[in-house]
Amino acid sequence: MTSRILLLFVILLGGCTAESDDPLPSWNEGTSRTAILDFVTRVTDPASADFVPAEERVAVFDNDGTLWTEQPAYFQVLFVIDKVKEMAPAHPEWRVKQPFKGILEDDLKAAFAEGVPAILAAALATHAGNTPEEFRQDVAAWLAEARHPRFDRPFTELVYQPMLELLDFLRAEGFATYIVSGGGIEFMRVWAEDVYGIPPEQVIGTSLATRFEMRDGVPTIVRLPEIGFVDDKEGKPVAINHHIGRRPILAFGNSDGDQQMLQWTAAGDGPRFMGLVHHTDAEREYAYDRTSHIGHLDAALDEAVEKGWSVVDMKRDWKVVFPPATQ
Amino acid sequence: MTSRILLLFVILLGGCTAESDDPLPSWNEGTSRTAILDFVTRVTDPASADFVPAEERVAVFDNDGTLWTEQPAYFQVLFVIDKVKEMAPAHPEWRVKQPFKGILEDDLKAAFAEGVPAILAAALATHAGNTPEEFRQDVAAWLAEARHPRFDRPFTELVYQPMLELLDFLRAEGFATYIVSGGGIEFMRVWAEDVYGIPPEQVIGTSLATRFEMRDGVPTIVRLPEIGFVDDKEGKPVAINHHIGRRPILAFGNSDGDQQMLQWTAAGDGPRFMGLVHHTDAEREYAYDRTSHIGHLDAALDEAVEKGWSVVDMKRDWKVVFPPATQ
């Protein structure tokens, strides 16, 4: 081997090593990436004044719009719509009753004219009366078939590659990573472990009330047609305290629904990281913030700018948005 | 070294090794110990037909009467009593109002004549209006001083040594160990990690409703004077499904309050272990079951016998009850 070839070999090897050592390869150089890396170094270096023991390294993530896409509608709402259509033959009364009538006639504007109560009515009609196991099977069956209207990909592929890398990186650095979402806790548990590496016990979300009962002598948990807990806004810190019993040191969201979670995280002692994903990329994903109903980001954006929280600019900060297609 | 001395040496070494290899040294030989060891072997041996992947090895434990003593009263009730006395100077109205009057006059019979509503009133008066951090400080300060009326030891030493060994053993075998107790979730989180090795996020219990609010501009969680969730009887499987999202494969209780948790555990597919601690040892601890108000064990005992669940006879099965005194 000549020395020039040897040199080339060393350079190539060096290049490979450097690349594989980068925990955030899909993040462009910039303030967001730097802030993340600096924070993790500070809290994990035993010699740092900001060192945090591993058991206190709690990181919480909103889901819709923070870990996966939430446009043109929350994916769980798309599930509700498909499920109403599937269940319609057994519910002739739906043909004349909103929101079902509108859903069945593909007139979503009429279906959801009433807003949240209409969405809730459709959600309860499709989510309750079953066991958690039965509901999970429903969700899994839907995810196996359904595809996003714009990207024509399975919904579980419309997750943010840079955030997947961040989750992996944090876990490798001793963090526990939790989802804290306004979405349904059981809806997310179906795929969160496969897609995010987040197991069921680290998924926190909005939930139905449930009841334990004997069904034909079989001990069963039944999902009731009533909301048990709304994990949004003020509900997020409440749920974190209830489920985890520790205050996070890192919190990531993307909307005003995450503002209280970020505030409560920020108010703890010691080093803290608060981040927002700002949807600025209409070409690769979507661009929306202050005027959007879905993922409304206004007061939280102002507070982030005022307090120096990290605002991730999707267009500028992310080399890629989604992982490569597999299906 | 003569061969006899060498032989002695080998025997002694062998004896030492055998002893330190025993994961349950405080359990006497018998059906309970054998059932535990057999179950753990079956679910952890990859070659076993009953093998369970580590992430599904969820073990749930009641606390009062299962992991620590619950006589002559639940320790949290003793905390309430002491706390009422401590807070009384700021509450002159308590001098003429039950249950406070009875507590202040050491007439617990009068104080709690109404039963659960009276206990609840005293609990809410001493547990709410503060933050989780403030409440934890209250509990920690009490535990540092309070001693059990009969054993004259700190309450956190009145934990069952054989159950501590079982918790350690299960974790060493890849299980996640959870508390699922009718006791207060925040009350237990104060000491469960130190005493049982169970971190806050694996403590499930009865909880107050809480609210997120700004207090003097500080984002704060406030404990409200109303019950949020009662983690007893039918509540236990409901809470397990909500917090963990997996069905346990091992459940341990000691009273009818644990019956539904054991039933739901038993109803899952594959290998299961259901256990009850039966308080049969008036000399070393207490003896009570079917006629006791605290730790009432009647229907669950019948079901355990009928279905072959493990019933641990404290007097017969445990070499020691408590760990050695340290204070």
Whole-angstrom distance, CA of residue A272 vs CA of residue A265: 7
Q: Is the pLDDT of residue A142 over 90?
A: yes
Q: Is the pLDDT of residue A38 over 80?
A: yes
If you average pLDDT over residues A112-128, what whole number do you get? 92
**Angle in degrees, CA A317, A319, A322, rounded to 5:** 110
**pLDDT for the residue numbered A115:** 86
**pLDDT for the residue numbered A116:** 85
Instruction: Classify residue A250 by its DSSP letter.
Output: E
Lowest-confidence segment of A15-29, A144-158, A171-185, B34-48 by average pLDDT: A15-29
**pLDDT for the residue numbered A40:** 98
**pLDDT for the residue numbered A178:** 98
Q: Among candidates A185, A171, A170, A300, which has minimal Cα distance to A243?
A: A185
Structure tokens at B19: 């002893």
Token pair 């054991």 in the structure block, residue: B262
**pLDDT for the residue numbered B325:** 85
Alpha helices in chain B (DSSP H): 3-21, 31-44, 75-87, 100-104, 108-111, 116-127, 132-145, 161-172, 185-189, 192-196, 235-243, 259-266, 299-307, 314-317
Give the pLDDT confidence of B7-26 residue by residue, as tens digits.
Answer: 455 444 444 444 568 999 99
Q: Is the pLDDT of residue B188 over 60?
A: yes
Strands B250-253 and B273-280: parallel
A20: confidence class by pLDDT, cuts 50, 70, 90: low
Q: Is the pLDDT of residue A13 over 90?
A: no
Q: Mean pLDDT over all residues of chain B?
A: 94
Q: Is B211 in contact with A203 (Cβ distance < 8 A)?
A: no
Whole-angstrom distance, CA of residue B273 vs CA of residue B185: 25
Give the pLDDT confidence of B295-315 residue by residue, as tens digits.
Answer: 999 999 999 999 999 999 999
B327: confidence class by pLDDT, cuts 50, 70, 90: low
Give the pLDDT confidence of A195-219 residue by residue, as tens digits.
Answer: 999 999 999 999 999 999 999 999 9
Whole-angstrom distance, CA of residue A264 vs CA of residue B212: 9
A325: confidence class by pLDDT, cuts 50, 70, 90: confident
Q: Is B238 in contact with A212 (Cβ distance < 8 A)?
A: yes
Token pair 């795929």 in the structure block, residue: A191
Instruction: Classify residue B61 by its DSSP letter.
Output: E
Give the pLDDT confidence of B167-176 residue by residue, as tens digits.
Answer: 999 999 999 9
Q: Is A210 in contact with B266 (Cβ distance < 8 A)?
A: no
Q: Is the pLDDT of residue A176 over 60?
A: yes
Q: Among candidates B147, B149, B162, B91, which has minimal Cα distance to B121?
A: B91
B9 to each of A31, A256, B1, B6, B19, how far by Cα in Å?
Answer: 66, 71, 10, 5, 15
Q: How close, in Å, is residue A67 to chain B by CA atoms?
A: 20
- Buried/exposed code over A204-222 (b: 16+ C-beta within 10 A; e: otherwise): bbbbbebebeeeeeebbbb
Give the pLDDT confidence of B23-39 residue by residue, as tens digits.
Answer: 999 999 999 999 999 99
B4: confidence class by pLDDT, cuts 50, 70, 90: low
CB A315 within 8 A of CB A289: no
Closest residue on chain B to A245 (Cα) = B200
Token pair 């995280």 in the structure block, residue: A265
Q: Is the pLDDT of residue A19 over 70?
A: no
Q: Is A218 in contact with B267 (Cβ distance < 8 A)?
A: yes
A11: confidence class by pLDDT, cuts 50, 70, 90: very low
What number of C-beta contacts closer than 8 Å exist between A and B? 88
Three-state secondary structure call for residue B225: strand
Give the pLDDT confidence of A62-118 residue by residue, as tens digits.
Answer: 999 999 999 999 999 999 999 999 999 999 999 999 999 999 999 999 999 988 899
Give the pLDDT confidence of B113-172 residue by residue, as tens digits.
Answer: 988 899 999 999 999 999 999 999 999 999 999 999 999 999 999 999 999 999 999 999
Q: Is B219 in contact with A237 (Cβ distance < 8 A)?
A: yes
- Buried/exposed code over A66-98 (b: 16+ C-beta within 10 A; e: otherwise): bbbbbbebbbbbbbbbebbeeeeeeeeebeeeb
Q: Is the pLDDT of residue B88 over 80?
A: yes
Q: Which of A56, A179, A221 to mutate to test the interface with B (most CBs of B within 10 A)?
A: A221
Q: Among candidates A315, A310, A265, A267, which has minimal Cα distance to A287?
A: A315
Closest partner residue to B241 (CB to CB) among A210, A218, A236 is A210
CB A261 within 8 A of CB A272: no
Closest partner residue to A221 (CB to CB) among B201, B213, B238 is B238
If you average pLDDT over residues A143-147, what whole number do you get? 98
**pLDDT for the residue numbered A10:** 46
Closest partner residue to B212 (CB to CB) among A189, A246, A264 is A264
**pLDDT for the residue numbered A16:** 44
A12: confidence class by pLDDT, cuts 50, 70, 90: very low
Q: Domain ranges in chain A? A: 25-72+154-327, 74-148
If you average pLDDT over residues A166-191, what whole number do you get? 98
CATH architecture of B27-40+53-73+154-317: 3-Layer(aba) Sandwich (3.40)
Omega before residue A99 within 30° of 0, cis: yes
HEC profile of B122-177: HHHHHHCCCCHHHHHHHHHHHHHHCCCCCCCCCHHHCECHHHHHHHHHHHHCCCEE
Q: No. of H helices and E strands in chain A?
A: 14, 8
**pLDDT for the residue numbered A3:** 54
Would you mind telling me the total number of residues written for chain A in this entry?
A: 327
Q: Is A201 in contact with B244 (Cβ distance < 8 A)?
A: yes
CB A88 within 8 A of CB A94: yes
Would you mind telling me the total number of residues written for chain B in this entry?
A: 327
B326: confidence class by pLDDT, cuts 50, 70, 90: confident
Contacting B with CB below 8 Å, chain A residues are 55, 132, 176, 185-186, 189, 199-201, 203, 207, 210-213, 218-221, 228, 234-238, 241-246, 260, 263-264, 266-267
Q: How close, in Å, is residue B304 to chain A by CA atoms?
A: 15
**pLDDT for the residue numbered A5:** 54
The CATH topology of domain A25-72+154-327 is: Rossmann fold (3.40.50)
If you average pLDDT over residues A44-69, what whole number do you get? 98
B267: confidence class by pLDDT, cuts 50, 70, 90: very high
Residues of A with CB below 8 A from B248's CB? Answer: none
Closest partner residue to A212 (CB to CB) among B189, B234, B245 is B234
If you average pLDDT over residues A143-156, what whole number do you get? 98
